[in-house]
Amino acid sequence: MTGKQMPSPINLIPGEPAIPPLGIGTWSWGDRVFWGFGSTYTRSDLRAVFESSINAGIVLFDTAEVYGMGRSERFLGEFIRTATRQVIIATKYFPFPRRLKREQAVLAALHGSLRRLGLDQVDLYQVHWPSPFLSPEEAGRALAAAVEEGLTKAVGVSNYDTEQMLRTYEVLDRRGIALASNQVEYSLTHRQPEKSGLLDRCKELGVTLIAYSPIAQGILSGRYTAENPPPGRRKQKFSADFLTRLQPLLTTLKEIGEKHGGKSPAQVALNWTIAKGTLPIPGAKTASQADDNIEAVRWLLEESDVARLDEASLYL
C-alpha cells in the first residue's frame, strides 16, 4: 500500500453504484441542545455543507427522525429539492417505549421521515438502537416490510452488537433481503468494534460498518485541549485528564499528516477508519469542515502509518 493509492468505493446499497467511502453525518443539523445550532452555525452554513459535499461527489447523508427533533430531515428535504445531483439518504427509526405496535410503528415512523424529507423512498432505513421495545427479530420483520412496500431501497441497524446484528440478519435473509449496514461508534478513541470482533463479522457477511463519531466529536481534529476544552455537553464527556492523555495520539496524527503533504489531523483520523474498511460519516457544521473531511477520500495511509496509529491509540 502506498500514499498514492486511492480508497476503494463501497457498495452500500445493494444493486446501486458504489460510492466513495465517506458520507456526511447530520446530527448537528438543527440540534440546539448538544451541538448549539443557531449560535455558532445556522441554516445557511448547513446549505453550504450540502452544496460543497455534493459538488465534491460526496452524496451520502445520514440523518435520523430524532436529530433536531425532525429539523435535520427537514433541512435535508429542503436542500434535496434544488440539488443538482442525486443524493443517497439514510435515516433511522427510534424505538421509543411509547411505540406499542412495534412493527407497524416502524412503518408509520418511516412515513413521517419521508414526509419531512419530501421523498417517496429513502435509500437506507436503519433501526437507531437495540431496545427491549423492539427485538432484533421484530426489527428484521419491520425492516423487511419497509423494503417490500418500496419505502426504502436497503435496510440497516445501528448500535447492534454482533449477536443482535446476526439475529436481524437472519430474519432479513429468510425474506431474501440483505442487511446493508450496522452503524456504530468507531474511531481512534473508540476501537470497540475491532476488539469485539464486530468489524470482522461485518466484513465476512458483507455488511458495511458505518463509523459514527469518526473524529470523536471533533476531539481528533486537535482543536481541543485540557486548557481549551470543547464547548457545551462535550466538556462533561471529555475530561481534562482524557484530553491530556490524548496529546501523544494528536501529535502522531499531525506528524503523519505532515508526511502526507499537510493533511489535517481530522483527515488522518478519517483515513484511518477508511483504511480499516469502514464508511465514516463525519458531522460538519460548516463548508470548510466538510471540505477538510472530504479530502480524506482522496488518498490512503500507508500500512506503516496505520500500524503507528493502532499503537498510539491502544491504551487511551
Ligand X SMILES: NC(=O)c1ccc[n+]([C@@H]2O[C@H](COP(=O)([O-])OP(=O)(O)OC[C@H]3O[C@@H](n4cnc5c(N)ncnc54)[C@H](OP(=O)(O)O)[C@@H]3O)[C@@H](O)[C@H]2O)c1
Q: Which residues are catalytic?
A: 67
- Of 131 and 217, nearer to ligand X (C-beta) is 217
Asked if 28 is part of the footprint of ligand X (rule: CB under 6 A), the reply reads yes
Of the residues 215, 274, 294, 296, which one makes contact with ligand X according to CB under 6 A: 215
What is the secondary structure of 54-68 as a DSSP string? HHTT--EEE--TTGG
Contact present, 54 and 85 (Cβ < 8 Å): yes
Asked if 189 is part of the footprint of ligand X (rule: CB under 6 A), the reply reads no
- Report the distance separating Cα 59 and Cα 66, nearest Å: 21
Q: Which stretch binds ligand X (CB under 6 A): 8-16, 42-50, 79-87, 281-289?
A: 281-289
Size of the site for ligand X (CB under 6 A): 29
Cell numbers for 109: 415512523
Q: Which stretch binds ligand X (CB under 6 A): 9-17, 52-60, 104-112, 279-287?
A: 279-287
Asked if 62 is part of the footprint of ligand X (rule: CB under 6 A), the reply reads yes
Cell numbers for 154: 436497503
CA distances from 24 to 35, 50, 205, 283, 287 (A): 16, 9, 24, 6, 11
Q: Please state the closest distance from residue 176 (CB atom) to ligand X, in A.
A: 26
Helices within the chain (DSSP H only): 43-55, 71-81, 102-117, 136-148, 162-174, 192-195, 198-205, 234-237, 240-245, 247-259, 265-275, 287-294, 303-312
Of the residues 21, 26, 153, 162, which one makes contact with ligand X according to CB under 6 A: 26
- Of 73 and 305, nearer to ligand X (C-beta) is 73
Asked if 159 is part of the footprint of ligand X (rule: CB under 6 A), the reply reads yes
Q: For cell 486537535, what's the residue?
A: 222
Asked if 158 is part of the footprint of ligand X (rule: CB under 6 A), the reply reads yes
Residue with the CB atom nearest ligand X in the bound state: 25
Q: Which stretch binds ligand X (CB under 6 A): 10-18, 109-117, 166-174, 215-223?
A: 215-223
Asked if 250 is part of the footprint of ligand X (rule: CB under 6 A), the reply reads no
What is the secondary structure of 244-306 as a DSSP string? HHTHHHHHHHHHHHHHTTS--HHHHHHHHHHHTT-EE--B-SSHHHHHHHHGGGS----HHHH
Of the residues 147, 266, 274, 301, which one makes contact with ligand X according to CB under 6 A: 266
Q: Please state the closest distance from residue 311 (CB atom) to ligand X, in A.
A: 21
- Report the distance separating Cα 160 and Cα 165, nearest Å: 6
| Positions in the binding site for ligand X (CB under 6 A) | 25-28, 35, 62, 128, 158-159, 183, 212-218, 221, 223, 230, 266, 281-285, 289, 292-293
